[in-house]
Amino acid sequence: MLMQGIAASPGIAIGRALLLPREERQLVRTPITKAAAPGEEERFETAIQQAKSQLKELMNRLEAEGSQQEAGIVEGQWFLLDDPQLKMDVQNKINDELVDAVWAVHEVFGDYAKALEAIEDEYIKERLADLRDAENRLLNVLTGVRNIDLSQLAEPVIILAHDLTPSMTAQMNRSMVLGFATEVGSRTSHTAIMARTFGIPAVVGVEELLAGHKAGKQLVLDGDRGIVLSQPDERQLQEYEQKRKEHAALAEQLNALREVRAVTIDGKHVDLYGNIGKQEEVHFVLEQGGEGIGLFRTEFLFMDRSEMPSEEEQYEAYRQAVLSAKGKPVIIRTLDIGGDKEIPYLPLEKEFNPFLGWRAIRYCLADPALFKIQLRALLRAAVDGDLRIMFPMISGVREIEQAKELLAEAEQELEAQGRAYKRGVPVGIMIEIPAAALISDKLAPLVDFFSIGTNDLIQYTVAADRMNEKVSYLYDAEHLAVLRLIDMVSRNAKAHGKLVGMCGEMAGDPNMAKLLIGLGIDEWSMSASQIPYVKQEILKLSEAECRDFVKQLLS
Amino acid sequence: MLTKQVVVLNHTGLHTRPAKEIVKTAGSFQSDILLQKDTKTANAKSFISVLSLGAPKGTEILVSAAGEDEERALQSIVALFENKFGEE
């Protein structure tokens, strides 16, 4: 039987299904006799201890992997279960109302949830999910429901689930997972992102997936076309086995390129770097042959959480990235966020036009205290490697001056505190606003490097939203206006002896390699998985020919 | 019993991380430690109580400690607030 979903991560997986059933629990108020009360109390105590040790184990594993944020969430649940109030409330309920441990736990957690819901605080409300998660874990232990331990998979499987949460993917023994399919999700949901990061096929948004599959039965996962094929027949199996081999051969080919230098046939070297959202992704970039990180998007440290990341937390994240890069450059972009994203703890309002609004550097310069927390964390982390700071959405000279002033203040503050930090950290800016491109000659002397953010530069230049189907046809990286701007930025950078890189999607498109070499872009930063493809293209090109080609285009 | 008035100074208020710090610190003392905000009182050794207090930046809290080690207990908790829970 064939099911159609959304292609979330490319590749073909053929294997047996492991079904992760949705948790559905029937809870009923179960009365007990007075004599049974002590027994229920003991049941509860034992369950608490077990649940706590499960959480402790998970926490240690996450910390060892460097997933600090996830470890913190799990620790929060541990604190919930360790709470003396919880113990007291549940015991009282068991004894006063003569109900069993399961019902007592359910009611008490329900009361806690109501208490949290009553608070007007957005961030506290986010804790409701953790409360539910902790309750579920405790009830699972009490009722003897065995959680499928994803870290103990004995044989390779294709995981089928309603949804995959961060704690599930964090636990997984990846070497045993051939692919994922989920009932919900989109190309940008957690499941999809994790699958692409692990480099395994995935299909999401498959309605009735679990109903249509039996555990242990063979299936084919086609991550290219978003297809889940249960119990394939001989012919289908053969076809897909062939496709899988082709994929594997391609992967081998690209693998072989890893150590090869990205140089044109006439000797021009291009720095191929990677874009990342989390410090843990650095090694994926290096694995693909990337020579540095051209863009570390720090927003992810600030998103999907109820409180701001502290200086310490940020410092740890940046430091991890720098250390993982083993001396290779890591360009970290300061907070680039706006009202279009849900950040409950920042006073970002819903704007009519968030992409032309109070975001990114504009927001940071308006909140120096917040900005300096990030800057201090960056300066401290710079001690451990080649960290470079990049400011987003710059539109003029004044913003650069103000940002550099705050950076200097941050240095002084660290000096006064006696904290170790690096002086002279290279500072660059994103060129994504046409105004900045047009005065790039004035901006070049003020910074150490440029990085062209083509995604936004193109949108702002042709005034079209690439996510708007009606006008996305206007979003064209090869539009003469865009090429002229990139050319201008490149020339101005070189006239002042500054490096010019690019971190938009254009950089990761092998078809653009000719243009980018001809335009003289020194450093191209892209998704890790794109690096081998782009390198393959560069190896075929001649710089001289590319230059001529661009000269023709621009004349 | 000893008491001291403090103000929540850190940017994010008494959220998960500061709550954890309070519970960890309070738990190491024998005294009963309470946090009072207006009419609401929270047991500083209880994570859910501290979270349910709902104390954003600027909230005034009355910290009280009663027991054999009340002096050190009070001092330690007050210090957490004054150091902004290590946030800045």
Residues 6 or more apart whose CB falls under 8 angstroms from that of A395 comprise: A433, A435, A436
Reading the block at residue A437, the tokens are 């491109």
Q: Read off the pLDDT of each residue in A304-318 and give the average, rounded to a whole number.
A: 88
Nearest-CA residue of chain B relative to A308?
B12
Helices (H), A367-439: 368-381, 397-417, 434-438
Confidence check: pLDDT of A505 > 90: no
pLDDT of amino acid A23: 65
Closest CB from A75, A123, A370 relative to B15 = A123
Nearest-CA residue of chain B relative to A309?
B87
ipTM score of complex: 0.88
The neighbour count for residue A155, using CB atoms within 10 Å, is: 8
- How are beta strands A427-431 and A387-391 bridged, if at all? parallel
Best mean pLDDT range from A57-61, A71-75, A270-274, A504-508? A270-274
Assess contact for A195 and A179: CB atoms under 8 A: yes
Q: Read off the pLDDT of each residue in A460-469 and give the average, rounded to a whole number.
A: 89
Scored b (16 or more CB within 10 A) or e, A67-95 reads bbbbbbbbbbbbbbbbbebbbebbbebbe
Nearest-angstrom CA–CA distance, A332 and A297: 7
Q: pLDDT-derived band of residue A169, with 50, 70 and 90 as boundaries?
A: confident
pLDDT of amino acid A121: 67
Q: What is the pLDDT of residues A36-74, one digit of tens each?
A: 999 999 999 999 999 999 889 888 887 887 667 678 778
Give whole-number Cα distances, A532 to A52, A196, A257, A529, in Å. 44, 15, 6, 7
Reading the block at residue B25, the tokens are 């610190």
- The question of whether A503 is a catalytic residue gets the answer yes
Closest CB from B19, B51, B87 relative to A310 = B87
Contact residues on chain B for A85, CB-CB shorter than 8 A: 43, 46-49
Contact residues on chain A for B20, CB-CB shorter than 8 A: 75-76, 79
Cα dihedral A63→A68→A72→A74 (10° resolution): -50
For B79, the domain range is 2-86
Assess contact for A12 and A250: CB atoms under 8 A: no
- The question of whether A283 is a catalytic residue gets the answer no
Assess contact for B23 and B77: CB atoms under 8 A: no
Q: What is the pLDDT of residues B21-31, one digit of tens each?
A: 999 999 999 99
Cβ distance A85 to B15 less than 8 Å, yes or no, reads no
CA distance A160 to chain B (A): 33
Contact residues on chain B for A72, CB-CB shorter than 8 A: 16-17
CATH number for the domain spanning B38: value is: 3.30.1340.10
Nearest-CA residue of chain A relative to B87?
A310
Percent of chain A with pLDDT strictly greater than 90: 64
Confidence check: pLDDT of A472 > 90: no
Q: Which domains does chain A have, with CATH numbers?
A: 2-22+162-254 (3.50.30.10), 35-143 (1.10.274.10), 270-554 (3.20.20.60)
Nearest-CA residue of chain A relative to B16?
A76
Reading the block at residue A177, the tokens are 């997972």
Specify the pTM: 0.64
Closest CB from B13, B17, B48 relative to A86 = B48
Q: Label residue A21 exposed, middle or buried (CB < 10 Å: 0-12, 13-18, 19+).
A: exposed
pLDDT of amino acid A436: 98
Q: Read off the pLDDT of each residue in A527-536 and give the average, rounded to a whole number.
A: 90
pLDDT of amino acid A12: 94
Confidence check: pLDDT of A146 > 70: no
Contact residues on chain B for A419, CB-CB shorter than 8 A: none
Who wins on pLDDT, A171 or A543? A543
Confidence check: pLDDT of B88 > 70: no
Confidence check: pLDDT of A509 > 80: yes
Confidence check: pLDDT of A178 > 70: yes
Q: Which of B11, B33, B39 to mutate to test the interface with A (most CBs of A within 10 A)?
A: B11
Q: Read off the pLDDT of each residue in A535-543 and give the average, rounded to a whole number.
A: 96
Q: Which of A121, A313, A413 to mutate to test the interface with B (most CBs of B within 10 A)?
A: A121
Nearest-CA residue of chain B relative to A83?
B46
Q: Read off the pLDDT of each residue in A488-504 and give the average, rounded to a whole number.
A: 97
Who wins on pLDDT, B14 or A339? B14
Q: pLDDT-derived band of residue A25, with 50, 70 and 90 as boundaries?
A: low
pLDDT of amino acid A122: 61
Nearest-angstrom CA–CA distance, A440 and A435: 8
Q: How many structural domains is chain B composed of?
A: 1
Contact residues on chain A for B23, CB-CB shorter than 8 A: 79, 83
Cβ distance A72 to B54 less than 8 Å, yes or no, reads no
Cβ distance A123 to B13 less than 8 Å, yes or no, reads yes
CA A269 remoteness from chain centre: 29
Nearest-angstrom CA–CA distance, A207 and A530: 31
Cβ distance A308 to B12 less than 8 Å, yes or no, reads yes
Cβ distance A127 to B51 less than 8 Å, yes or no, reads yes
Q: Name the residue among A404, A400, A405, A429 with its Cα closest to residue A499.
A: A429
Marked catalytic residue, from A162, A190, A283, A479? A190
Marked catalytic residue, from B4, B15, B20, B72? B15
Residues 6 or more apart whose CB falls under 8 angstroms from that of A468 comprise: none
Who wins on pLDDT, A245 or A27? A245
- How are beta strands A523-526 and A271-276 bridged, if at all? parallel
Cβ distance B15 to A75 less than 8 Å, yes or no, reads no
Return the minimum-mean-pLDDT range out of A426-430, B30-34, B53-57. Answer: B53-57
Nearest-angstrom CA–CA distance, A519 and A512: 11
Cβ distance A121 to B13 less than 8 Å, yes or no, reads yes
Cβ distance B54 to A370 less than 8 Å, yes or no, reads no
CA distance A493 to chain B (A): 37
Confidence check: pLDDT of B47 > 90: yes
Q: Which of B48, B57, B80 to mutate to test the interface with A (most CBs of A within 10 A)?
A: B48
Q: pLDDT-derived band of residue B13, with 50, 70 and 90 as boundaries?
A: confident
Amino acid at A485: L
Q: pLDDT-derived band of residue A163, with 50, 70 and 90 as boundaries?
A: confident
Confidence check: pLDDT of A24 > 70: no
pLDDT of amino acid A50: 92
Who wins on pLDDT, A165 or A228? A228
Nearest-CA residue of chain A relative to B24?
A79
Who wins on pLDDT, B88 or A12? A12
Scored b (16 or more CB within 10 A) or e, A199-214 reads bbbbbbbbeebbeebe
Contact residues on chain A for B56, CB-CB shorter than 8 A: 121
Q: pLDDT-derived band of residue A123, with 50, 70 and 90 as boundaries?
A: low
Confidence check: pLDDT of A198 > 90: no
Q: Which of A120, A132, A310, A372 to mutate to test the interface with B (most CBs of B within 10 A)?
A: A310
Q: Read off the pLDDT of each residue in A281-296 and give the average, rounded to a whole number.
A: 92
Marked catalytic residue, from A106, A213, A364, A503? A503
Q: Which residue numbers of B have CB closer than 8 Å to A's CBs?
A: 11-13, 15-17, 19-20, 23, 43, 45-49, 51-52, 54, 56, 86-88
DSSP string, A96-111: HH-B-HHHHHHHHHHH
